[in-house]
Amino acid sequence: MQDSLFLRAAFSKSTERPPVWMMRQAGRFMPEYWEIKNKYSFLEMCKTPEIAADVTMLPVDLLGIDAAILFSDILVTGEAMGGDLSFTQGVGPKFANPVRSQADVDKLLTDVDDKLQYVADAIKVIQQRLNGKIPLIGFAGAPFTVMSYLVEGGSSKDFKLTKLMLHNHPEMAHALLAKIAKVTINYLNLQIDAGVNAVQLFDSWALALSWDDYHEFSHRYNKQIIEGLNRKDVPVISFCKGSSVFAPIMAEAKPDVVSIDWNADLLDIKKKLPAGMAVQGNLDPHILYAEKHVIKDRIHRLFERMRGEDGFIFNLGHGIMPDIPFDNVKYAVELVKEFRYEV
């Protein structure tokens, strides 16, 4: 497994071409996903190991990607801590009991490994199905991003209540973030013990934060988490939207890979990181709506830019949108897999 393209690239070893996987590769853009989704609720899918495994395998079988990602969600930690979580089609995730006061924070549980055991069970089933073919990536939400859903009670455009808590009640925000961080360390270690080959920390909404707030309310906890992992030979990928600006700070937490949004020039970012730290990214997912010649041109441009660089995992700058045509995603994966640098 350590010889796989993905793990070699994650540890900045040389590869004949960049490995490819895509954030949200198992999801609504796939007709086969809907065949399963129409029969179960989203949380039932996550909590039934055989179904989670079926969905994890869809992009392995249909797209031929170089790494699988566990089918679950970043919000399962918030649920395990006591959040009343539901996912409704067209509405998205909701917490019916948002965290708005110190009493709400105090009520949240931190000893929740038992409640997340279904994830370990799913990982074991998935690894049997993968049978050593490609690595499996586990993941968790970063404390700031998970906090935003707990405080807002769902998705948000401006994170108004979350930022008000940071600014008016920083001690309350820190108490909440510290609790989520503790749960996240245990949760990712549980995934590592169950057999994932890499882990990714998703701080999707860090871009909402100012430079100082990012240090105080996001980076500090992400660093704690990365330091708390029993990494062994499991690489850690740190993703955030906002990484074009925050990547050098993200690197201080010492992940093996920094996953970059699409705003930055990937090579420029890589040069700002310590030697031996890999990058992942960073195609604008909207390119996958475009015509095939555009997709080809942009992927080849990115590869040309990264020519000669070890430690490059091809991915999108953020997740695949649900209405991106499946054929375009498949075409992009095939392009990457056929690519070889000409000498």
64 touches ligand 1CP by CB under 6 A? no
Binding part of the chain for ligand 1CP, among 7-15, 88-96, 171-179, 250-258 by CB under 6 A, reads: 88-96
27 touches ligand 1CP by CB under 6 A? yes
Q: Which of 139, 214, 221, 312 binds ligand 1CP (CB under 6 A)?
A: 139
**Shorter beta-carbon distance to ligand 1CP: residue 202 or 314:** 202
Cβ distance 77 to 184 under 8 Å?
Answer: yes
- Give the phi and the psi of residue 319 in degrees, each rounded to 5: -70, 160
* Tokens coding 297: 């041109």
Q: Which of 25, 222, 243, 259 binds ligand 1CP (CB under 6 A)?
A: 25
73 touches ligand 1CP by CB under 6 A? yes
Q: Which of 3, 16, 38, 89 binds ligand 1CP (CB under 6 A)?
A: 89
Cβ distance 84 to 95 under 8 Å?
Answer: yes
* Tokens coding 110: 């931190």
Distance of alpha carbon 262 from alpha carbon 243, whole angstroms: 9
The sign of the torsion formed by the CA atoms of 89, 21, 323, 54 equals: negative
* Tokens coding 341: 């640098």
Binding part of the chain for ligand 1CP, among 18-26, 101-109, 208-216, 266-274 by CB under 6 A, reads: 18-26
State the minimum distance, in angstroms, from the CB of residue 282 to ligand 1CP. Answer: 14
Distance of alpha carbon 215 from alpha carbon 225, whole angstroms: 14
202 touches ligand 1CP by CB under 6 A? yes
Is the bond into 282 cis (omega within 30 degrees of 0)? Answer: yes
Residues that bind ligand 1CP (CB under 6 A): 23-28, 37, 42, 69, 71, 73-75, 87, 89, 92-93, 139, 155, 202, 204, 318-319
